A and B are shown apart, each in its own frame.
Chain A
Amino acid sequence: MAEYLTHEHDVLVIGAGGAGLRAAVEASAAGVKVALVSKSLLGKAHTVMAEGGIAAALADVDDRDNWRVHFADTMRGGQYVNSWRMAELHAKEAPARVRELEAWGAVFDRTVDGRILQRNFGGHRYPRLAHVGDRTGLEMIRTLQDHGIHLGLDVFMEHTILILLKDGDRVVGAFGYDRERGRFHLFRAKAVVLATGGVGRAYKITSNSWEYTGDGHSLAYHAGAALTDMEFLQFHPTGMIWPPSVRGLLITEAVRGEGGVLRNKDGRRFMFDDIPPLYANQTADNEEEGWRYVQGDKNARRPPDLLTRDHVARCIRREVREGRGSPHGGVFLDIAWIKEKIPNAAEHIKKKLPSMYHQFKQLADIDITQVPMEVGPTTHYMMGGVRVDPDSQMASVPGLFAAGECAAGLHGANRLGGNSLSDLVVFGKRAGEYAARFAKNNSLGKVNPEQLAVAERGALKPFEREGAEGPYAVQYALQAMMQDLVGIVRQEQEMLQALDHIQELKARTGRVGVSGHREYNNSWHTAIDLNNLLTVSEIITRAALERKESRGAHFREDYPAKDEQFGQLNIVIQKGADGEVQLRREPIPPMPAELKQIIQEMK
């Protein structure tokens, strides 16, 4: 076997955002030796981009809130194809996870009586999001990072994993390279936790950073693990659209939570024009009631601007398509208007939404305390991912665990805002705990040198083709294609075309060349990432073809209605013996009576 830098640990965590850090902290607390592999520098992961808050039924602001309401909200938001067990665990455990962050040094915004302040968010019945202005994700990742560095974790910054290693059925480690020197590393571990985040870089307009290339999804898939719900990709309704260089950049839902409203070019609050029946009972039917709600009036219902993200994104698309959009092809999001309602509105906005103020001022020359923003949908979050056991977060392959965005189940067809940060800590903790337990009961497995050699050869191939087409053009082509053909509104013909394009792009990727050497070579990294992007793009497309209905984030123009039969099942994806994507429809396990009853009561 060739000599590689070799690291041996009990638990290997791949990904160092909120979920990965929380898993590493938990595994370490269980007394096992932990490696944490991070594609970027520590503390830079996509979690820093999360803005609005972390959802937990603390009931600090509204004492009517409890885990049962949070559970029902999450299931309704996910259109009932969620894993009900994960939704239950999440709703029950999120408050303890938030308080634990406070015990580790997080400084949340406070209520008048000194408790943790919570804000309104789309799809949540009561003010539920603990937050720090609009930089909650930064607070969370920094808290976990600063807590974690004192626990003796071995952190591998700027390392990328190429493949998972298997001994028989079991995952026994991973193989990758470091960015700085381009050396290959062998990580042997008794258990592996995937916490690699999402897939947004497969699309042209996205709020996601370069890291989001579907690594965990792809690693798990090629290691034989089942994925599920991959047709459910969330387009956040409010991304920046102008100037072009910032297109896709996220504008937090907290803008609407703080009273911001959506208008078309005629100034109309178009969200009042289409309120889905599932939400009719709990949605305001006039502007005045909506305003009272965001001001904390417990008798008022939520304004339709705060309907779930899938619905708001489609309404915006409709306004633009029907010619009622803003000059640059979006709609208006107006927070400045609250000056009609409250004194010192400008100061209030800067205090509540500091990074939004900053972002628009600096990148678009727009003062959001004075004029409306132009917004449009942006690729934001993958609900689907590694199919896991709800309690232990173990994948269908032993020794492999997954948590956070790269795992599936909690969010069903559509994630509620704020449920991501809570997902990270609730299931990050569980993954760490159960991975540590698995590691204690198993020994290091055997490494197959052939597997390493193949991965190494594959990774170095682009250097043999210097002068050939570079990776960036292929990446841009894929992003534009997925945006056009497998975007917010889908139909069979276009998705079949997308599959053809994916085959062509795979062939092009096989011919991509890079120049220079292996040390911090961005084009080489991009060339490698293309493989994962293509794998997840194909899986998304095939799953979207298979679900012949519209539900949550998945909207089919050719099947615009919900179909009760599809509402009873998840689409499960696995790599077949022939190396091709295999799909199957799996019935959702029956919900226990007490959970059913909660949903009935909260209708």
Chain B
Amino acid sequence: MSTADTAAERLLERASDVIRRLLDHPLLWLAPALLALAVFQLYPMAEAILMSLTNESLIRPSFEFVGLEQYVRLASDPQFWEMIRITAIYAFFSVVLHVLLGLVLALAIDYGVRRGLRGHLTTRVSVLLAWIVPGIIIGLVWKVMLVESQFGAVNHFLGVLGIGPVPFRSDPTLALISTIIAGTWRGTAFTMIMIYGGLQRVPQRLYEAARVDGAGRWDRFRHVTLPQLKPVLFITTVLVTIYALNTFDLIFALTGGGPGRATQVLALFMYQEAFQDYALGRGAAIAVVMLVANLLLTGVYLYAFDVGDEI
């Protein structure tokens, strides 16, 4: 009995020793995460790059490698440049509105907290509320808001004023403006919180020093707050630009890229090429273009951290 026991004990000890040694190596801890990343991020990305070098299609069974042909065709396609233009307009105005609105709200909430004004919490919660609504539903909420009949809130009130109905989603320019507003409605929470966080890190002694020097409120904002916020503003801008460039669900639900192709940003263009025109290779080439844009902006983001460290 005792020999069997000690054998079992020894086995157990050996096992726990092996476990301990395994646990002392980082690989075991990292393996599941790295595996998930490799299979569900790296593999699809590699697949996208490979696909972009073929003429693969959803309706043809076979395909061959065509080298860089997809890219060459893309570059000579006026439609592609039109999408780039629309994406740039969408991203530019979204980012400007996000940052401006976020900055104003963050300052107002910070001011309210310090002055003990009421309603700063309600304001913050309201802005954040918009941010957690699922993208598809945001598209639909704004679709309902902008319906071109009395059912749409905006046209309802314009009607009261004797204006309209305004074709928010069927006029190309207005449709693009509508997507920008809906996007800003969702994303401002992010910039507001980031900038508010930045405001909390501004050393109070700087304000005191400025006040001693006789600086008024505007001067203090201009010469203390803004320079101190610069790193945060920069990082926030880069992040919002990345989000804006990759917007999909909201526009997909709000306008579907229309009217015509007036709101077809890159992600929707990619989707349409790949799944509605069945040109997987071409869609993949657009995906790679987006990937490169993402990587470039990430580079800027990392650079921003270095800048932030220096300050």
Q: Do A and B bind each other?
A: no
